[in-house]
C-alpha cells in the first residue's frame, strides 16, 4: 500500500499537492501521499454553485464532493483548501461545450477541463504552494523514458483515461504524478476500505459532470437559448425527409431520435449544417471516414511513422493509422468520426499526442 512518487529527493523533505475531487480515487491518492512521509496539501476546485449542486448525483467538485474531500483530508491529517473556479469553469468548459454544439460539432468537455481548469490553473496553484509535484487520481501511467517522462495507458484498460489527457504538455507531465496508473479500480477501493475512508463505496462520477441525466440538449439550451431553433432533416441529395427541434439534439453517427419512418433501411446522422440548421442523414456506409484533419495538435513523443494507432472516442478500439503531422489516415474506414472530437495517437501503450478533429474526408472520396 505504497506509491512511488518519483521525486528525486527524500519524500520526508517533499511537499505533494493532491487534487481532491471528493471521490474514492483522489482520496486514495491523498492517503498514499500522506503515508509516504511527505507534507501533503489537498486542493479542491469548486466548479458549481454549492447550493444547486449539493444533491446532484454523479457530479464532481461540487457541494457534497467538497464536503467529502474536506472530511477525508481531516481523516488523514493533511491541510485542505477549496478554491472557487465556478466562473472559470463556466466560461472555459460549459460555454465552450454549448458553442461547439451550436457549430454542429461533437465536443469533449472532459478534455477541455483537463486542458484548462485542472492541468493549467490547478497546476499553477500547486507551484504557488511550493509543491514538488501535483498528484491526481487519473488512471494513466507516467513512465520515465530516455527523453523524459512519457504518458502511457493505464494498466487497467477498463479505467484508462489517457484519451482525455492527450493535451497534457511536456512541462505539465514533468510536474504531474499518477499513483493509480498501475492499479485496477478494485484495488483502489480495497485500499479505501482498509483505511476506512468514508468514500470507499462512493459511486464514480459520470463522464460529463455538469450534464445531469445525460440530457445534453437542456444544458446547451440553458446556456444558448437560440440553439433550439428547428430545421429540416434531409438526405444526401437534399430531399426533405422531416423536421427537427434543434441541432442540439443530434450528433454525427446518431440513429435514434430522427423520427422519419417509412425508410427502406436505417438512416444515420452524417453531418450537421448549422448555417442552414439542416440535419443530413444517410446510410451507414456514408459515415465511413478515411482521413481526419487535426488542429490544436499537442505532441509528447518523437516523430514516428510506423506502428501507430489512434482513438477517436475514449472507449473505441485503437485503429491502425498513418500520421503525417496534420492529419490521421486510417488503414480501414473508421465510423462515427466527427469534427470536435479528439484523435489521440499511440505507439503501443504510449501516448504520442493528438489533436482536435477539424474536418473528415469520407472514405468514398479518398480510396485506400
pLDDT of 366 strictly over 90: no
Confidence (pLDDT) at 117: 81
Confidence (pLDDT) at 259: 84
Cβ contact 41:131 at 8 Å: yes
The rounded distance, in Å, linking the Cα atoms of 200 and 187 is: 11
Confidence (pLDDT) at 135: 97
Confidence (pLDDT) at 149: 95
Confidence (pLDDT) at 53: 41
Asked which of 16-20, 86-90, 170-174 is least confident by mean pLDDT, the reply is: 86-90
Burial of 148 (0-12, 13-18, 19+ CB in 10 A): exposed
pLDDT of 368 strictly over 60: no
Backbone angles phi, psi at 214, to 5 degrees: 70, 15
Confidence (pLDDT) at 55: 45
Confidence (pLDDT) at 367: 55
pLDDT of 92 strictly over 60: yes
Confidence (pLDDT) at 62: 58
Confidence (pLDDT) at 212: 63
Over range 225-233, report the average pLDDT: 89
Catalytically annotated residues: 113, 209
The rounded distance, in Å, linking the Cα atoms of 96 and 301 is: 28
Confidence (pLDDT) at 211: 77
The rounded distance, in Å, linking the Cα atoms of 3 and 295 is: 37
Between these two residues, 320 and 263, which has the higher pLDDT value? Answer: 320
Confidence (pLDDT) at 60: 55
Confidence (pLDDT) at 61: 52
pLDDT band at 216 (very low <50, low <70, confident <90, very high): confident
pLDDT band at 2 (very low <50, low <70, confident <90, very high): low
The rounded distance, in Å, linking the Cα atoms of 62 and 55 is: 9
pLDDT band at 138 (very low <50, low <70, confident <90, very high): very high
C-alpha cell at 32: 498514499
What is the DSSP code (8-state) at residue 226?
G
**Which residue is associated with the grid cell 511537499?**
15
Alpha carbon distances (Å) from 256 to 159, 160, 269, 281, 368: 28, 28, 9, 12, 31
Q: Percentage of residues in the chain with pLDDT exceeding 90?
A: 64
pLDDT of 207 strictly over 70: no
Confidence (pLDDT) at 177: 96
Over range 277-287, report the average pLDDT: 94
pLDDT of 329 strictly over 80: yes
What are 5-8's contacts with CB under 8 Å, separation 24+?
5/33, 5/36, 5/38, 5/133, 5/135, 5/177, 5/179, 6/142, 6/144, 6/177, 7/132, 7/133
Backbone angles phi, psi at 143, to 5 degrees: -115, 135
pLDDT of 297 strictly over 70: yes
pLDDT of 51 strictly over 60: no
Cβ contact 340:357 at 8 Å: yes
Q: Whole-model pTM?
A: 0.90
Highest mean pLDDT among 47-51, 119-123, 189-193, 256-260: 189-193
What is the DSSP code (8-state) at residue 368?
-
Over range 222-243, report the average pLDDT: 91
Cβ contact 42:27 at 8 Å: no
Amino acid at each position: 500500500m505504497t506509491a512511488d512518487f518519483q521525486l528525486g529527493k527524500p519524500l520526508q523533505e517533499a511537499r505533494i499537492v493532491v487534487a481532491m475531487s471528493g471521490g474514492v480515487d483522489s482520496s486514495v491518492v491523498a492517503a498514499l501521499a500522506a503515508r509516504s512521509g511527505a507534507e501533503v496539501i489537498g486542493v479542491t476546485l469548486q466548479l458549481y454553485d454549492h447550493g444547486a449542486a449539493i444533491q446532484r448525483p454523479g457530479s464532481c467538485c461540487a457541494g457534497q464532493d467538497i464536503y467529502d474531500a474536506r472530511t477525508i483530508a481531516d481523516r488523514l491529517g493533511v491541510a485542505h483548501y477549496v478554491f472557487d473556479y465556478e466562473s472559470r469553469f463556466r466560461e472555459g468548459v460549459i460555454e465552450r461545450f454549448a458553442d461547439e454544439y451550436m457549430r454542429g460539432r461533437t465536443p469533449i468537455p472532459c478534455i477541455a477541463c483537463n486542458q484548462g481548469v485542472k492541468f493549467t490553473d490547478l497546476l499553477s496553484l500547486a507551484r504557488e504552494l511550493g509543491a514538488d509535484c501535483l498528484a491526481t487520481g487519473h488512471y494513466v501511467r507516467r513512465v520515465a523514458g530516455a527523453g523524459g517522462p512519457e504518458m502511457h495507458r493505464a494498466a487497467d484498460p477498463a479505467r484508462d483515461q489517457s484519451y482525455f489527457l492527450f493535451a497534457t504538455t511536456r512541462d505539465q507531465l514533468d510536474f504531474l504524478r499518477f499513483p493509480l496508473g498501475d492499479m485496477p479500480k478494485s484495488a483502489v477501493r480495497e485500499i479505501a476500505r482498509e483505511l476506512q475512508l468514508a468514500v470507499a463505496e462512493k459511486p464514480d462520477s459520470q463522464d460529463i459532470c455538469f450534464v445531469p441525466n445525460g440530457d445534453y440538449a437542456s444544458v446547451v439550451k440553458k446556456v444558448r437559448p437560440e440553439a433550439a431553433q428547428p430545421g429540416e432533416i434531409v438526405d444526401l441529395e437534399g430531399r426533405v425527409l422531416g423536421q427537427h427541434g434543434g441541432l442540439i439534439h443530434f450528433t454525427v453517427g446518431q440513429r435514434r431520435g430522427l423520427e422519419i419512418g417509412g425508410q427502406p433501411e436505417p438512416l444515420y446522422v452524417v453531418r450537421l449544417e448549422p448555417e442552414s440548421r439542416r440535419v443530413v442523414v444517410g446510410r451507414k456506409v456514408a459515415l465511413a471516414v478515411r482521413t481526419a484533419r487535426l488542429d490544436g495538435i499537442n505532441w509528447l513523443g518523437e516523430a514516428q511513422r510506423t506502428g501507430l494507432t489512434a482513438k477517436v472516442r475514449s472507449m473505441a478500439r485503437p485503429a491502425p493509422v498513418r500520421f503525417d503531422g496534420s492529419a490521421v489516415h486510417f488503414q480501414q474506414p473508421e465510423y462515427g468520426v466527427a469534427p470536435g472530437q479528439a484523435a489521440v495517437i499511440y505507439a503501443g501503450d504510449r501516448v504520442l499526442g493528438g489533436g482536435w478533429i477539424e474536418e473528415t474526408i469520407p472514405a468514398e472520396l479518398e480510396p485506400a
